[in-house]
Amino acid sequence: MRIHPVFHVSILEPYQISPLRGERPSPSPPIEIDDHEEFEVKHVLNSRISRGRLEYLIHWKGYDISDCTWELTKNLQRAPIKVREFHKRNPMKLRPENVTAPRGTRYLRGR
Whole-angstrom distance, CA of residue 50 vs CA of residue 73: 12
- Look at the pTM and tell me if it is higher than 0.75: no
In 3D space, the residue among 12, 80, 20 whose CA is nearest the CA of residue 44 turns out to be: 80
Domains detected in the chain: 34-98 (2.40.50.40)
Query: pLDDT 10s digit of each residue in the chain, 111 long?
Result: 677 777 777 877 777 666 655 555 555 666 666 666 778 999 999 999 999 899 999 999 988 898 999 999 999 998 999 999 999 999 999 888 776 665 655 555 555
> What does the pLDDT read at residue 109?
58
